[in-house]
Structure 1
Amino acid sequence: MSAPVTPSAEADAPQVFPPTLREVMLRPRWIAMLLLCLVVAGVFAWLGQWQLGRALSTSPVAPGASEQVQPLADVTKPGIALPDPLAGQRVEVSGSYVPDDFIVITSRLNDQTEGYWVSGQLRIADVAQPTSVAVALGFTTSKDQADAAASALNAQATADPTARVDVIGRVIADEGPVVSATKSDPFELSRMSPAALLGRWHDVAGLNVYRAYITAQTPSAGLDAIHSPAVDSGTSVNWLNIFYAAEWAIFAGFAFYLWYRLAKDAWEREVEELTGGGEDGDELPAEA
């Protein structure tokens, strides 16, 4: 008679069944994380929809409207950025030039010809608070002529600082300040930027300043007229805003991917702990 078979310890041990990825994702912790991701994705989706609405609601200027001269105050206000559809609008404004604030701007292109602009600070008349706008008065290819014109205009303004002038020209958006590329002259300005000019102007306490500037239609001090043609009215679609809307959609999708990736990492760690897959090199069970 054969001896009875004794079951091994391994046979007596309870069998461990690792959880599936689906089971891990349905746990309260990961359901709560999913709800949080839904909120974040919803915010991103709303921002994308807002950007898309901005892209499609941008109305171009009607053909020929930019050539109709309008008061500067009706087109833009001090301290705010010039809206894209109004860039290049012809405007008019009256005031007097501030003495000693005629400054040469380098690296200017005038119909593909490189040269210099002479700029001035026009203190606007008939406003409650002191307000100024930068005006580009003319172009020249000669640095010496630009310096001479600035000196002559400074002398003229000093002799009669209250002389009133009427300026007609195109209103252009601020080009933004930039550090001088010339080590010999750290004060050189190569961008037409009212923000940079403000640091060089006089009598600016309590001053309102337009962020846009004007290219004068009629040049001064023997300078050439600045080539400033009419701006293309463009399209009703703002492609930059569409790009931003696409970015928000990507961010919304990434919120869900992040939840999935975190849940899967937690599942893989739990499976390794239960099966010893991380130590013995066993493969993880298929996602179920």
Structure 2
Amino acid sequence: MQLFLLVALTMTAFAANSILNRIGVAEFGMDPIDFAAIRVVAGAAMLWLLILIRSAPRPAIWVPKRWAGAIMLAIYMVGFSWAYISLGAGLGALILFGVLQVVVFGWAVIEGQTVPLMRWIGAGIALIGLCVLLWPGGQATVPFAGAMSMAAAGVGWAAYTLLGRAESDALGATAGNFLLCVPLTGLAMVVAGGGPMSVMGVLTAVVAGAVTSGLGYALWYRVLPSLPTTVAGIAQLSVPVIAVAAGAVLLAEPLTLRLLSAGALVLGGIALSLLVRR
């Protein structure tokens, strides 16, 4: 039960990231690269504050695994923020975690992990839900550039998730990843040129970085060693449904029949795939 509650809390934090990014970029006019850079700095500051006040030794920073985590985190952060120029909160989350599921399952197969049949079926149903949403035509149109940007973010986040499976110090690893990610997103901000920054947009980025990203990702690295690789991928497909509901309530985003049908398929696939856990 404790593991379930921790995973549920983490998924809620992930969904909040979608809402906060959508608000900061689309509502408050923040440049997406600026938003990502501020988010990373705020996350690093929060995590290193916790590192400094804890009694455990400080984590190693200049190691290959930390750089790998930082690069994947930067790809995710920049692609994620850029996509929300044109994507709604729920749609963006659905693309992100649909791509993540494909990458995670593919990696499990490459590693030779045994994936139960029920989990394959559930993942397939959830993936069909993603296809229902993204298939051309119908009332819901999907901006191509935004979808590709979010797909790149999904690959980055999948790699970040896979890197965290063997971390013994979740807080230290996340703090190291964020610290090394700061110059990467800062460089992206300089290259892109930046844009106007509103007070509310900056505050939104700080909350997204310090709370739902920094603390949320540390919690995710904490629970990852207790989850099979494929379950970690499937569980995250609940995030789009949370984001869709929150987007409808907080941002007045439309709930089309296509979006609701896709959400139902995704949730049904998750439930079916997790039956094997019992």
Q: TM-score range by the shorter chain?
A: under 0.3
Q: Which has the higher strand share?
A: 1
Give the TM-score, by structure 2 length.
0.23
Greater RCO between the two (CA within 8 Å, min separation 6)? 2
The structure with more radius of gyration: 1
TM-score (norm 1): 0.22
Q: Which has the higher helix share?
A: 2
